[in-house]
Amino acid sequence: MPSQKVLEQKQQLVTELAERIQGSVAGIIVDYKGISVEDDTKLRKELREADVKYTVVKNTLIKRAAEKAGLNGIDDVLNGASAIATSENDYVAAARILQKFADGHDTFSVKTGYLDNEVISLEKIQSLAKLPSREVLLANVLGAFQAPIASFARAVQAIVDKSGEEAPAESADAPAEA
């Protein structure tokens, strides 16, 4: 029987994880077994740079935290070695990074995920993983907004250039009218 101190620590961990799940827009649960320390370090660095929190947690604690957060439907994948990655503001970062990592490592796999506190299928996770980053999407939108303005500016410049060519040149030999 665990001591009271250990139980309190686990309850605190469950509460913090439940709050993290509730405060995130997306999360992914992975089976991380069989990866080297070097690969794990690289993965964690990439996740940190994308503002994704990644934690190895016991399955029972993930299950209790998910129940407390109102996230249902993940119990059947909670076996083996599990880790959870959550993102507070980027819907695709965790899926993109972890799916790419899983594609390159046979023993590492994505188990399940959620968006806006609803469990999603592995197919949706793979679709999310194929989306470009938030910055790339914003740059594309900005480019789409700027394209008509740039075209208009080029058209106006062409008109100015053309009208400048058609203006009669004044000759220095021509007598000035008084």
The CA radius of gyration of the chain, in Å to the nearest whole number, is: 28
What pLDDT does residue 46 have?
94
Residue 157 domain boundaries: 132-168
What confidence score (pLDDT) does residue 133 get? 66
DSSP string computed for 59-122: HHHHHHHHHHHT--S-GGG--SSEEEEEESS-SSHHHHHHHHHHHH-TT-EEEEEEETTEEE-H
Same domain, yes or no, for 83 and 137?
Answer: no
Looking at residue 73, its pLDDT comes to: 84
Angle at which helix 93-104 crosses helix 122-130, to 10 degrees, equals 100
| Residues 34 and 106 both lie in one domain | yes
pLDDT of residue 127: 83
Structural domains counted in the chain:
2
| Same-domain status, 71 and 118 | yes
In a domain? residue 177: no
Q: What is the CATH number of the domain that holds 35?
A: 3.30.70.1730
Does the pTM of the predicted model rise above 0.85? no
Average pLDDT for runs of 10 along the chain of length 178: 83 92 92 89 94 93 91 86 91 91 90 90 85 70 74 78 64 52
Q: In 3D, which of 88, 110, 90 has the Cα closest to residue 99?
A: 110
The reported pLDDT for the residue numbered 16 is 94
Q: Identify the pLDDT of residue 100.
A: 92
